Chain A
Amino acid sequence: MSTQKHTDEISGVETTGHEWDGIRELNNPLPKWWIYTFYVCILWSLVYWVIFPAWPYLSSGGWKHTAGSYGYTQRGEVSAELQKVAEGRAVFMKQIDAMPIEDIAKNDSLMEVALAGGKATFADNCAPCHGSGAAGGNGFPNLNDDDWLWGGKLADIQTTLTHGIRWEADADTRQNMMPRFLDDKMLTREQINDVAEYVLSLSNKADDAAAATRGSEVFAANCVSCHGADAKGNQELGAPNLTDAIWLYGGDKATIVTTLSHGRGGVMPAWGARLPGSTIKELALYVHSLGGGK
């Protein structure tokens, strides 16, 4: 601020002393209503202090703040909103709880709720193993495809979700075992090699026709009880189809030999103990909707 008063030559108005590139600000009077508006705003802030939480103060328990006359908090506002959402959802959850899963699938509005809920539950609980897109990984099944170990019908998926697979804490869990043919000395290395060739031949990938022929006999003696004479598997027993393009652990020869030698036995938790039945239904409907459901 300049100490010397300066008066603008053209308008005859005193300037504020502020100058930018030779442009000076005229010190014209402010209209009175403007200053009154300002006072009203100050008064309003006093009202605000009373109604809303405003002032911090130090008490024995550390920093506190005035609560405001209505005890308003943003946290309270959020939880009230969440409460409202839960109440709104409860109507649908009750129906989902009561209805057989196949009927829910036929009800458009319930399906909308179920798929949205299932998607959220999947992201929270299933994505760590099956991936956020449910594409799975080595040893973790891809849930988008049409190949199912324990069945791809809604009821099958619901059962798998409820009781898990090889989950010891659940008496009704889905149970089976791929034997450890080498470790338990049930087959020799040569026999395992032959069976592997035979399995490869089922998808026209065998290199050694003679070994495959020998392997077919070993297969008939050891594997058909679970995988079936046609090697197409058995969903009752959770035995995979060995003739298709989908391999849980890999379809190359080395992996097949490893599987035969040391067995397999992946585990899926029984979610029935952790999630309410209606949520499991939502989850089953969601997984079924991914494109491979039967």
Chain B
Amino acid sequence: MSEPATNLENLVAEAVGTASAASSSALNDDSAVAVNSQLNRPLYQSRIKVQPKLVHGTFRRIKWLVMALTLSVYYVTPFIRWNRGPGMPDQAVLLDFPARRFYFFFLEIWPQEFYYVTGLLILAALGLFLATSVAGRVWCGYTCPQTVWTDLFVFVERLFEGDRSARIRLDKEGWSVGKLARKVGKHAVWLLIAILTGGAWVFYFADAPTLAMQMVTFSAPMTAYIFVGLFTATTYTLGGIAREQVCIYMCPWPRIQGAMFDEESLLVSYKDDRGEKRGPHKKGTSWEGRGDCIDCGQCVAACPMGIDIRDGMQLECIQCALCIDACDEIMDKVGRPRGLIGYDTLNNHDRRKAGEPLRFRIIRPRTIVYAAALLIVAAIMVVALASRETLQLAVLRDRNPLFVTLSDGSIRNGYGIKIINKDTAAHVFHVTIEGLEGARLAGLSADEVNPTEIAIGPDALKNVRFYVSLPKDRLSALDHGLAELNFVVTDETGRHTVRETTFRGPDQ
């Protein structure tokens, strides 16, 4: 990939005054106008393809790293195993819809515990707010799947069609075998990535190795193929074709972010106080009376959103920081200090103008509030998870009839009891009552050997009916026809739980 470097050389050559006439045509390709400029907007806008140029530097390196990390998390996670004992799925992260369970490493969430997932989502939202108030749209710029996959698709595009200027030239060119081969190759690899993306998604919903085998032998369930197809289509369209259109027109986050950051948030900005007045610079001429921006357009060429950072803060800017790398490269070449484009705050912009020292106020009311909320929710989650019960008991007393008088004059109440065994082993649960002297517990059917011993398998629940009767001579224990009664369930390991309920009889 020597071509982009050559182009850059040409640019800098121009800037330092050694440009030849032959190389200046390459420069024209690169010094593009911002695609999404405010000028000349028609009623309906055709999309002009954004052709981001490869840059080298700190932020590009960070972005490659983040891409490698997020993609591996996405593809590898479903294949991580986690031993939960016999009869239980051994997939670390699994959304088991048929069995209505969500497994996340040591966690196993039942549908009625969905608030744990709500808690996770709240944590994610607060984390997003905090990050945005500190450093703007870092989520958008580095970790958003739309950004990561688009970056990956552009990488593939560059492999087949070369860097920005080569791609622009190729698109202008007439059709040839070479062009066709490049285009077909690119789309084929895109499609492959899209299929793999959709394919990985379904692995979160079934046993990944099994499903992977089924997928390749064409014996997987139809829904799996349908979802792979769906996610293939969306990945290909959004990452390969729509790209910046998703961020600009579909995503709500750019609209919300305005409320998240303030004058002290670190935002990728062009320091106009330093850069202006901009203009081409010939080597050897003085930097006096002019700005550092040599108007080379490298920041625009690098921008995946097709905007000009020098127009100021814009809705389209995803804060990917690639223009920082682009400009730093130029500043190095022309021998000016780096950071003409860099992470800056609105207040520092004003402080610089006023000649005051710069200040970075990461800790300020806004970030403190977000951080505190984050910590509180996280603490609640930890406490809730630590005190999660693996044995639960629900007792529902019959209300129709409230009670039944038996022939010997005793009073009987019926109870529906639900025992939930969230343990990964089977247990035998012993049901007893306490709190009402003389009351007798009986199972539904008389011929059952031991109706108060209930065997429940791992990770399962059972509904059982019980009758409690109070002899006639003990009816005085009722106060206004009411007495308190506790159901106690104990398993063979001593794990036990108590649920309060009432016993009803005639109001005498």
Binding site for B on A (CB under 8 A): 11-13, 28-35, 131-135, 142, 144-147, 241, 244-246, 289, 291-292
B38 touches A145 (CB 8 A): no
Nearest 3 CB-CB pairings of A with B: A133-B400, A135-B401, A245-B409
Interfacial chain B residues near A291, Cβ < 8 Å: 404, 412, 414, 444, 467
**Nearest chain B CB to A280's CB is how many angstroms away?**
21
Among B42, B398, B399, B444, point to the contact of A289 (Cβ < 8 A): B444
A145 touches B406 (CB 8 A): yes
Query: Complex Cα distance A28/B45, Å?
Result: 9
B406 touches A135 (CB 8 A): no
Among B401, B407, B412, point to the contact of A246 (Cβ < 8 A): B407
A31-B405 contact in complex given A132-B400, A291-B414, A291-B467, C-beta closer than 8 Å: no
Kindly list 10 other residue pairs between chains A and B, CB separation below 8 angstroms, not including A142-B401, A146-B406. A32-B44, A132-B400, A133-B401, A142-B404, A142-B405, A244-B407, A245-B409, A246-B405, A246-B407, A291-B412
Binding site for A on B (CB under 8 A): 38, 41-47, 242, 245, 249, 398-401, 404-409, 412, 414, 444, 467, 472
A29-B404 contact in complex given A12-B38, A291-B467, C-beta closer than 8 Å: no
**Nearest chain A CB to B242's CB is how many angstroms away?**
8
Interfacial chain A residues near B47, Cβ < 8 Å: 31-33
Interfacial chain B residues near A142, Cβ < 8 Å: 401, 404-405
Query: Complex Cα distance A145/B245, Å?
Result: 72
Among A13, A35, A245, A292, point to the contact of B44 (Cβ < 8 A): A35
Among B43, B398, B414, B472, point to the contact of A29 (Cβ < 8 A): B43
Interfacial chain A residues near B409, Cβ < 8 Å: 244-245
Interface of A is mostly: loop
- 23 CB contacts below 8 A, A to B, read A12-B38, A13-B38, A13-B41, A28-B41, A29-B45, A30-B44, A31-B44, A33-B47, A33-B245, A34-B249, A35-B44, A131-B400, A131-B401, A132-B400, A133-B398, A135-B404, A145-B404, A145-B412, A146-B407, A244-B409, A246-B407, A289-B444, A291-B414
Interfacial chain A residues near B43, Cβ < 8 Å: 29-30
A32 touches B45 (CB 8 A): yes
Among A29, A35, A147, point to the contact of B406 (Cβ < 8 A): A147
**Nearest chain B CB to A129's CB is how many angstroms away?**
15
A31-B400 contact in complex given A147-B406, A291-B412, C-beta closer than 8 Å: no
Interfacial chain B residues near A30, Cβ < 8 Å: 43-45
Chain A, Cβ-Cβ closest to B40: A29
**Nearest chain A CB to B47's CB is how many angstroms away?**
6
A11-B407 contact in complex given A132-B400, A289-B444, C-beta closer than 8 Å: no
**Nearest chain B CB to A192's CB is how many angstroms away?**
25
Interfacial chain B residues near A132, Cβ < 8 Å: 400
Chain B, Cβ-Cβ closest to A144: B404
B249 touches A31 (CB 8 A): yes
A244-B400 contact in complex given A29-B43, A291-B467, C-beta closer than 8 Å: no
Chain A, Cβ-Cβ closest to B400: A133
Interfacial chain A residues near B45, Cβ < 8 Å: 29-32
Query: Complex Cα distance A292/B406, Å?
Result: 9
**Nearest chain A CB to B317's CB is how many angstroms away?**
15
Query: Complex Cα distance A241/B398, Å?
Result: 27
**Nearest chain A CB to B440's CB is how many angstroms away?**
14
A145 touches B44 (CB 8 A): no
Query: Complex Cα distance A28/B36, Å?
Result: 11
Interface of B is mostly: loop
A245 touches B407 (CB 8 A): yes
Query: Complex Cα distance A230/B404, Å?
Result: 25
Among A11, A12, A13, A145, point to the contact of B405 (Cβ < 8 A): A145
| Chain B CB within 10 A, most for which of A131, A145, A241 | A145
Chain B, Cβ-Cβ closest to A134: B401
Interfacial chain B residues near A32, Cβ < 8 Å: 44-47
Query: Complex Cα distance A246/B408, Å?
Result: 8
Query: Complex Cα distance A30/B43, Å?
Result: 7
Query: Complex Cα distance A145/B249, Å?
Result: 69
Interfacial chain A residues near B472, Cβ < 8 Å: 245
Chain A, Cβ-Cβ closest to B43: A29
Query: Complex Cα distance A263/B444, Å?
Result: 36
A29-B41 contact in complex given A133-B400, A135-B400, A245-B472, C-beta closer than 8 Å: yes
A245 touches B406 (CB 8 A): yes
| Chain B CB within 10 A, most for which of A29, A132, A147 | A29
Interfacial chain A residues near B400, Cβ < 8 Å: 131-133, 135
Query: Complex Cα distance A178/B44, Å?
Result: 93
Query: Complex Cα distance A210/B365, Å?
Result: 93
A244-B401 contact in complex given A30-B44, A33-B47, A35-B44, C-beta closer than 8 Å: no
Interfacial chain B residues near A246, Cβ < 8 Å: 405-407
Chain A, Cβ-Cβ closest to B42: A29
Interfacial chain B residues near A12, Cβ < 8 Å: 38
Interfacial chain A residues near B398, Cβ < 8 Å: 133
Query: Complex Cα distance A12/B398, Å?
Result: 72
Query: Complex Cα distance A133/B397, Å?
Result: 13
Query: Complex Cα distance A201/B38, Å?
Result: 103
Interfacial chain B residues near A292, Cβ < 8 Å: 404, 406
Interfacial chain A residues near B444, Cβ < 8 Å: 289, 291
A245-B404 contact in complex given A28-B41, A31-B44, A31-B245, C-beta closer than 8 Å: no
**Nearest chain A CB to B135's CB is how many angstroms away?**
25
Chain B, Cβ-Cβ closest to A30: B44
Interfacial chain A residues near B406, Cβ < 8 Å: 145-147, 245-246, 292
Query: Complex Cα distance A147/B405, Å?
Result: 10
Chain A, Cβ-Cβ closest to B312: A10
Interfacial chain A residues near B249, Cβ < 8 Å: 31, 34
Query: Complex Cα distance A28/B42, Å?
Result: 8
Interfacial chain B residues near A35, Cβ < 8 Å: 44
**Nearest chain B CB to A199's CB is how many angstroms away?**
15
Interfacial chain B residues near A244, Cβ < 8 Å: 407-409
**Nearest chain A CB to B425's CB is how many angstroms away?**
24
Query: Complex Cα distance A147/B412, Å?
Result: 13
Interfacial chain B residues near A135, Cβ < 8 Å: 400-401, 404
A144 touches B401 (CB 8 A): yes
Query: Complex Cα distance A147/B406, Å?
Result: 7
